[in-house]
Amino acid sequence: MQKIIVVPGDGIGPEVTEEAVTTLQALGADLEFTFLDQINADRYLRDGVALTDSELELMRTGGTVLFGAVGDPRVTTPDYARGVLLRLRTELDLFVNYRPAVLLDERLSPLRDESRRGIDCVVVRENTEGLYSGVGGSLRAGTPDEIAVDQEMSTYLGVSRVVEYGYGIARRSVCMVDKSNAVRFGGQLWQRVWRAARERHTEVASSHLYVDAAAMKLITDAPSFDVIVTNNSYGDILSDLTAELAGGLGTAASANINPQTGAGLYEPVHGSAPDIVGKGLANPAGAVLSAALLLRDRGLKSEAEALEQAVRHTLAQRRCTPDLGGTLSTRQAGEAIRAALS
């Protein structure tokens, strides 16, 4: 039996997670769910607690987490979000952020016809270091003389293992993205690690682009990319770009994983979207496709493919939420996906 810990979270998180869980249950797979509904902004605002040690330990031993969303406009500091997601990523050592971008239906891409066909790539983002590691500080805060410093941290271990993972999943090619012409020391480390990996994996086509050039090429020639491997901040930006090119954040799935331990946290990337909470407008496709990534990583390939095909079918039929050109509510869109499973 596969045990899944469910954290609905904030905003539209509970809405889309409910549809994802119900869809997983409709597959008839041997799955057991544990719900941690108390991890949310309400508790943080009431008690000042983002994530308890016992909850962290449960997720550490459980190994697989289906996550909804984190974030609430009532919380005015980054401490809550960092205390949940970033703590999970660092303490569970989820060093790979895996963001696939697959064009599910050609009408969804903003690119012209000849550029959008064949979009099928993945951004492999280093997930525990870089600018998001929290190294830095401020001086004379709140004054005209304020100084703020955020330091980008890269280690040989962190860079080498994520680059190696990127080569390990490549079908055709790996493009390593950095800004080594401007970011001197971290850039040198990424370049050295990438060159060594390129020599070990001669069966895979290798290329390098600076992050600004990579962004431009994604617009003009997205189908040429297979695996993009890059650091935390560049990966955050480029993966949102690839998601939009492939149809929008409503269909974007992600996996935060440690391939060495098997730990994984799977979540749609659309965020908590507080402006549409409770309106039935939230798109459940990203949550369902994140659940498909979870199943695939747990060896349930046929079940994962069934979910992916069901989402494709409903999009082709325009049986989806308004953001993708349909008229269905969140619940109705989930029901349509489940109907497509049969």
Residues identified as active-site: 132, 179, 212, 236, 240
Structure tokens at 163: 């680059």
Which residues does residue 256 pair with via DSSP β-bridges, in sequence order? 97, 265
Q: Which of 252, 297, 277 is nearest to 104 (CA)?
A: 252
d(CA 276, CA 288): 19
Which residues does residue 230 pair with via DSSP β-bridges, in sequence order? 125
Ramachandran area for residue 100 (φ above 0: left; ψ -120 to 50: alpha; else beta): beta
